[in-house]
Chain A
Amino acid sequence: MNVVIMGCGRVGAQLASLLDAEGHKVTVLDIDSHSFRRLPGNFGGTALVGDGTDEEVLRRAGVGEADAFVAVTQGDNRNVMAAQIAKHIFNVPRVVCRIYDPLRKEIYEALGIEAFSPTTIFAQLLKDVLLTT
């Protein structure tokens, strides 16, 4: 699979490294080249400096030919904007994004964006852990 990941934080870098290790074609985008230190030394994919909310940058990153696009920067709005450009402008078949704000996540899910809220998932997990022991 050909995957473009926007945001090379802990989650982005980890995902990139997992997919790369399984032989997928991975491109990681980040506005700060310093973030690429998180990628493992044997990373075989491409790391590109650029803002993923910029249509031109996405085009250069090969989003037009990607099978999947993942937006995992720190900014909810940035993620949501890039995800919509990938889905509606570049017609990427699978688009997934992170939205910390649970209410915003609901709105964008209703608009057809596949979104995950770590806030909801982690709070639920903590609750389950606390109540099952």
Chain B
Amino acid sequence: MYIIIVGGGSVGYYLCKALLREGHEVLVLDKDAKKCEAFEDELGSVCVRGDGCEVSTLTEAGTSRAEVFIAATNEDEDNLVACQVAKYKFGVPRTIARVNDPKNEEIFRKLGVDCPISVTNLILEHIEEKIPTHPLIRLLSMGEEKMEVVEVKILEGATCVGKSIKELSLPSDSILTLLIRNGEKPLVPTGDTVLRANDRIIALTTTESEEALRQELASS
């Protein structure tokens, strides 16, 4: 598979190395001649000097036959423009952008980048998953559908404890799909299921209603 990486910093460098090892054809674009030389010395002729947002550089790089395009510089505006040019001018089917300011992850997605990745958000998600300080944890995001799978732990003293599900006013676009109760088989909750402390619920919800779901199940 032909993969283009814009930006020969540490992210670009290790990506390039790993992708070459997996047998892909990789080309790195960087404005800095010194960086290109360093690539050349260590990995062979995999780096071309040039601006990865410029049409002429991308034409030379054969961008129209690339299957994946990764913008990995430390400037968000450059990563956005590089991906948009690759996608809209050269028709690259999969564009991936490194996002430095976490706020921009959602903005990039709205502006057409197929896969914006914020390292900060990844680390935060990891912390939330592994060190559950919050009763509601996001397990899986389905970006395009704006849906997510979440796990909610019912804490002692939560207002929903002792209530049946039909007594709760859950958002209409949230579905409680599974209930995990200590020492019992996982069960599919019905309207009559009564919630107890320490129950864990796996739910499917729209991103929009996540907060409402949290309010209903996790507030005390």
Contacts and interface: CB of A to CB of B under 8 A. Distances in A.
B101 interface: yes
A81 interface: yes
A103 B80 contact: no
Contacts of B89: 107
Interface stretch (A7-15, A37-45, A50-58, A124-132): A50-58
Interface residues of A, number: 20
A1 interface: no
A11 B56 CA distance: 28
B103 A89 contact: no
Contact of B81 (A56, A77, A85): A77
A123 interface: no
B75 A77 contact: yes
B88 A103 contact: no
Nearest to A85: B107
Nearest to A56: B103
A107 B56 contact: no
Q: How large is the interface on B (under 10, 10 to 19, 20 to 34, 35 or more residues)?
A: 20 to 34
B111 interface: yes
Given A107-B84, A107-B88, A55 B107 contact: yes
A34 interface: no
The main secondary structure of chain B at its interface with chain A is helix
Contact of B56 (A84, A89, A103): A103
Interface in B53-100: 53-56, 75-78, 80-81, 84-85, 88-89
A53 B88 contact: no
B55 A53 contact: no
A81 to B, nearest CB: 4
A104 B58 CA distance: 12
Contact of B55 (A75, A89, A107): A107
Interface string A91-132: 000000000010110010011000000000000000000000
B110 interface: yes
A117 to B, nearest CB: 13
Nearest to B55: A103
B110 to A, nearest CB: 6
A17 to B, nearest CB: 27
Contacts of B104: 55
Interface of A: 53-56, 75-78, 80-81, 84-85, 88-89, 101, 103-104, 107, 110-111
20 contacts: A54-B103, A55-B103, A55-B107, A76-B53, A76-B81, A77-B80, A77-B81, A80-B77, A81-B80, A85-B107, A88-B110, A89-B110, A103-B54, A103-B55, A103-B56, A104-B85, A107-B84, A107-B88, A107-B89, A111-B84
Given A77-B77, A101-B54, A107-B89, 19 more contacts: A54-B101, A55-B103, A55-B107, A56-B103, A76-B53, A77-B75, A77-B78, A78-B77, A80-B80, A81-B81, A84-B80, A84-B111, A103-B55, A103-B56, A104-B54, A104-B55, A107-B84, A107-B85, A107-B88
Interface of B: 53-56, 75-78, 80-81, 84-85, 88-89, 101, 103-104, 107, 110-111
